[in-house]
Amino acid sequence: MKILNAPLARLCAAAVAATALCAGCANPERSRDLGNPAVSGPVLARQACSLCHGVTGVAGSPNFPNLAAQTPQYLAAQLGEFRAHSRRDPAGFEYMWGISRRLTDAQIEGLAAYYAAQAPARQLPAGDAAQVEAGRVLFTQGAPERGIPACAGCHGDQGQGMATFPRLAGQHADYVVKQLRVFQRSDDRPDGAVMKVVSHNLTAQDVANAAAYVQGL
Amino acid sequence: MKPSRSRSVRNGHVVVGACAALVVLLFALLPRPAAAIPLFNRQTGQNCVACHAGGQFPELTNYGRLFKLTGYTLGVRTLPVSVMALASLSKVADTSKSDDPGADFQKNDKPILAGASVFLGGRVTDNIGAFTQFTWDPYAITTDSGKFKGTFTADNMDLRYADRVVDERHDLIFGLSVNNNPSVSDPWNTAAAWMQYVPVPSPTSSRFIDGASPYPGLSAGGNIAGLDAYVFVDQLVYLEAGEYRSARGAFSFMKAGLKAADLTRLRGNNPYLRVALSQNWGAHSLMLGATHMTARVYDDPLDTSDPQSVHRFRDAILDAQYQYLLDPHAVTVQFVSAHSRHAYPAAQVGLPAAFVDASGNALAPTSASDKTDLLRAKLSYTYQARYGASVALFSLTGTTNTGNQTSGYDPLTLTITSSASAGAASTRVGGNLSGNPATRGMTYEAFWMPIQNLRVGLQYTSYEKYNGARDNYDGFGRNASDNNSLFLYAWTAY
């Protein structure tokens, strides 16, 4: 009884009682449960995905891509690819396979719509003026003499993306560089097989220039 | 018999080394995504690098910090069990300056299974989760006959209720933590409970490795019971406040396995306060923090009848952590400055010192209080979460107190002797002749993680000062540098 009278024990007992009461409770409006179909896409975006990608899809760390204003078709396709384990670049399987494994189609649609509706990320270009200009030329005109098409042809004249061709505008340069390497050097993104052909002749400098440019779009 | 025993030890080295090499090779050949995964990995489905900076345990990334502060609830409920095991070998520079090296350095230069842990925890509900650890330490106790005896005890415990209210404008994470160790609830690796090289075998088996060197600690110690409330506002301001007391009654599981004589018994409630400012920009993350705790610890855990028989500790700690995390690089800089004031029970103050000076004159009586200052800093780098290296420094200074002398001149013989028949016997190897705690040194480490579940590391700790002196710190001629230690380990978790 002496122990029960202690303020700390009373508080703890209250906490334990609250725990017991809540043990069966779900809180789908603020849940981080990745296995509950009742949790909506936007709730998952705020409660779980935001840990890396930011609440509005603007990721603070260049380790993680900005998702804000991304095309919903691309977002849904990528989440499906992660869930099916067909996208298997290292960052993909390390971070995304597990997160996406139980997502329902409805949750994926909800997530895609959530991020597509966010205001796009605004960043400064990632290099000096000459590098950004070289990137602009590559992005808008390509390098026909080397068989490299203009990025804008599929990704939009402002890099805004088109359907399953992702938005590149405002994307972290570091992420763009790493993904272009994935396309060039591996078959880890089979859905992006077209990029393997497109990026085949890109030099490391081309990649850096294009990434520097699109970050500032 | 002796040659045959040393041959068997050598053979043991070869066998253990060969087995270790085979295991490492087999693990290295496994594809990384197929590797088995511990509890939290199963829950989130993510690799260790998502939560741990460059795969260095226990240091958390920003994601890991948020995972912890939201109560370990992100993910799907899964088998709530993980296990961890550690094999190691430590070798101290000099074992000759001891009249009984066999007892003082029992496991020196011998490969040992240094310990193992079982973890229970993970997501329970949308708001409740846990992280609990129980550890088996085969070298926890040295018996009178000089043999080691193992224990299986409660280690870190953190049970949480957490919630997060977040929208485009605000982000508020708040919760409660019931835990058994002040600052174990903290999400930053510079907190006293987490600022350490991991893994750490029992000090009794590896007495001078980094894990046994001075670390910032809250004097209340572990295996007590506390309730903390915390908020993390806009991922910018972190506040935590709580109270700790002895683990009794319903909270006895917080001290499970520990003998009464080994427990920390606290008088009443003992406040804990933590403030931290955090800022992330790009691949960078910076935290500046402060911790304060006062604790009243009974002198004798077996006798708490006298409320005056308590040690009063006041700890004030400043810490800072910088991380640069951009695959494949992870850089971390950590800094801790800890100030502690220790007031002794009145019955231990002003007592005649047990030892005398070389001429037989009495030494100053024991002090009423001690102050210590500890500086600890670490710089680490990992590449691809696979190869890592770090360098760390530690510097402990403090007041001199004859009450802390464990070596000195025996008043009967005016010699420094470890003889049991002496009036005041001195302690070899671990002894303190000066009564001053000053200990300073550096630790260097390189490690390799062939897969995320296995780490092999080599650590070297060098001492410039130990127990208040560079030379002859124990009165028997042992120098600080004699304690320089090499530590090789293989750590695995599933």
Q: Is residue B5 included in any domain, yes or no? A: no
Query: Nearest CA to CA, how far is B124 from chain A (Å)?
Result: 7
Question: Residue B159, SS3?
Answer: strand
Same domain, A135 and A102: no
Please give the pLDDT value at position A24. Answer: 55
Most A CBs within 10 A among B61, B76, B160, hence the mutation to make, goes to: B76
Specify whether A142 is located in the same domain as A106.
no
Q: How far is B50 from chain A (nearest CA, A)?
A: 6
**Are the beta carbons of A51 and B62 separated by less than 8 Å?**
yes
| Count of structural domains, chain B | 1
Which contacts (CB < 8 Å, 24+ apart) does range A157-160 have? A158/A217, A159/A214, A159/A217, A160/A69
Residue B33: list chain A partners with CB under 8 A: 88, 93, 97
Of A115, A130, A141, nearest in space to A52 by CA: A115
Which of A1, A4, A5, A8 to mutate to test binding with chain B, by most B CBs within 10 Å of its CB?
Answer: A8
CB atoms within 10 A of CB B368: 15
Query: Which tokens hold the place of B186?
Result: 């903290």
DSSP structure string for A52-80: HH-TTS--SSTTS---TT--HHHHHHHHH
Domain match, A100 and A138 both: no
Could you read off the pLDDT tens digit of each residue along chain A, which spans 217 residues? 344 445 445 555 655 565 555 555 678 899 999 999 999 999 999 999 999 999 999 999 999 999 999 999 999 999 999 999 999 998 888 899 999 999 999 999 999 999 999 999 999 999 899 999 999 999 999 999 999 999 999 999 999 999 999 999 999 999 999 999 999 999 999 998 999 999 999 999 999 999 999 999 9
**Distance (Å) from the alpha carbon of B46 to chain A's nearest alpha carbon:** 5
Task: State residue B376 phi and psi, 5-degree precision.
Answer: -140, 130
In a domain, B435, yes or no: no
Q: How far apart are CA B249 and CA A1, in angstroms?
A: 10
Q: Output the CA–CA distances (angstroms, integers) from residue A136 to A151, A212, A214, B179, B471, in the order listed.
A: 10, 9, 8, 56, 67
B residues 269-298 closer than 8 Å to A (CB): 269, 280-283
Q: Which of A15, A91, A94 sits opposite B161 (nearest CB)?
A: A15
Each residue's pLDDT expressed in tens, for chain B with a length of 494 residues: 233 334 333 444 443 444 444 333 333 333 333 333 378 888 998 888 899 998 888 899 999 999 999 999 999 988 899 999 999 999 999 999 887 888 888 889 999 999 999 999 999 999 999 999 999 999 888 887 778 889 999 999 999 999 999 999 999 999 999 999 999 999 999 999 999 888 888 777 789 999 999 998 888 878 999 999 999 999 999 999 999 999 999 899 999 999 999 899 999 999 999 999 999 999 999 999 999 999 999 999 999 999 999 999 999 999 999 999 999 999 999 999 999 999 999 999 999 999 999 999 999 999 999 999 999 999 999 999 999 999 999 999 999 999 999 999 999 999 999 998 999 999 999 999 999 999 999 999 999 999 888 999 999 999 999 999 999 999 999 999 999 999 999 999 88
Q: Which residue of B has its CA nearest to A32?
A: B74
| b/e burial code for range B461-493 (CB count within 10 A of at least 16 → b) | bebebbbbbeebbbbbebbbbbbbbbbbbbbbb
Contact A23 B128 (CB under 8 A): yes
Q: How far apart are CA B273 and CA B183, in angstroms?
A: 9
Is B73–A33 a contact, with Cβ atoms under 8 angstroms apart? yes
User: How many residues make up chain A in this entry?
Assistant: 217
Q: Is residue B264 part of a domain?
A: yes
Name the domain count of chain A.
Answer: 2
- Name every residue whose Cβ is closer than 8 Å to that of residue B360 and which is 6 or more positions away in sequence: B409, B411, B414
Q: Are residues A153 and A91 in the same domain?
A: no
Distance CA B482, CA B486 (A): 12
Q: Is residue B134 part of a domain?
A: yes
Residue A174: inside a domain? yes
pLDDT confidence of residue A23: 52
Looking up residue A194, the CATH number of its domain turns out to be 1.10.760.10
CB A117 within 8 A of CB A194: no
What is the span of the domain harbouring residue A104? Answer: 30-116
Name every residue whose Cβ is closer than 8 Å to that of residue B53 and which is 6 or more positions away in sequence: B59, B60, B61, B64, B189, B323, B325, B330, B332, B382
Q: pLDDT (tens digit, 9 = 90+) per residue, B165-197?
A: 999 999 999 999 999 999 999 999 999 999 988
C-alpha to C-alpha distance for B340 and B343, rounded to whole angstroms: 10
Residue B144 falls inside a structural domain: yes
Whether B34 and chain A come into contact, CB under 8 Å, resolves to: no
Together in a domain, A153 and A184:
yes
Does B441 fall in a domain? no
Residue B323 lies in domain:
31-345+373-388
Give the residue from A52, A85, A116 where a domain finishes.
Answer: A116
Specify if B102 maps to a domain.
Answer: yes
pLDDT of residue B52: 92
Same domain, yes or no: A37 and A94:
yes
Residue B103's pLDDT is what?
A: 82
Whether A4 maps to a domain, the answer reads no
A22 in B contact zone (CB under 8 Å): yes
Q: Which residues pair with B314 in a beta bridge?
A: B294, B341
SS3 call for A50: helix
Give the per-residue pLDDT at B34. 30
**Is position A180 within any domain?**
yes
- A46 contact residues in B (CB cutoff 8 A): 166-167
Is the same domain home to A111 and A37? yes
pLDDT digits (tens, 9 = 90+) for B420-437: 899 999 999 999 999 999
* Rounded Cα distance, A149 and B477, in Å: 77
The alpha carbons of chain A give a radius of gyration, in whole angstroms, of 22
Contacts for B233 with CB less than 8 Å, ≥ 6 apart: B171, B172, B239
Chain B residues in contact with A60 (beta carbon < 8 A): 280-282
Nearest residue on chain B to A123, judged by CA atoms? Answer: B282
Residue B174 in contact with partner chain A when CB distance is under 8 A: no
Chain A residue nearest residue B124, CA to CA: A23
- Is residue B465 domain-resident? no
A206 and A135 within one domain: yes
Asked whether residue A42 is domain-assigned, the answer is: yes
Task: Tell which of A4, A34, A47, A51 to mutate to test the B interface (max B CBs under 10 Å).
Answer: A51
Whether A23 contacts chain B with CB within 8 A: yes
| A18 close contact with B: CB closer than 8 A | yes
Contacts of B165 in chain A (CB under 8 A): 30
Between A and B, how many residue pairs show a Cβ–Cβ distance under 8 A? Answer: 140
Residue A16 within any structural domain of the chain = no
For A174, phi and psi rounded to 5 degrees?
Answer: -60, -40
Q: How far is A93 from chain B (nearest CA, A)?
A: 7
Indicate the SS3 state at residue B254: helix
**Nearest residue of chain B to residue A94 (CA atoms):** B47
ipTM of predicted assembly, 2 dp: 0.89
Question: Domain for residue A189, yes or no?
Answer: yes
Burial class, B217, CB count within 10 angstroms (exposed 0-12 / middle 13-18 / buried 19+): buried
Q: Element (H or E) spanning A1, and its range?
A: none
Taking CB atoms and an 8 Å cutoff, what residues of chain A touch B224? Answer: none
Question: With contacts defined as CB-CB under 8 Å, which chain B residues touch A23?
Answer: 124-125, 128
B90 neighbors B108 (Cβ within 8 angstroms): yes
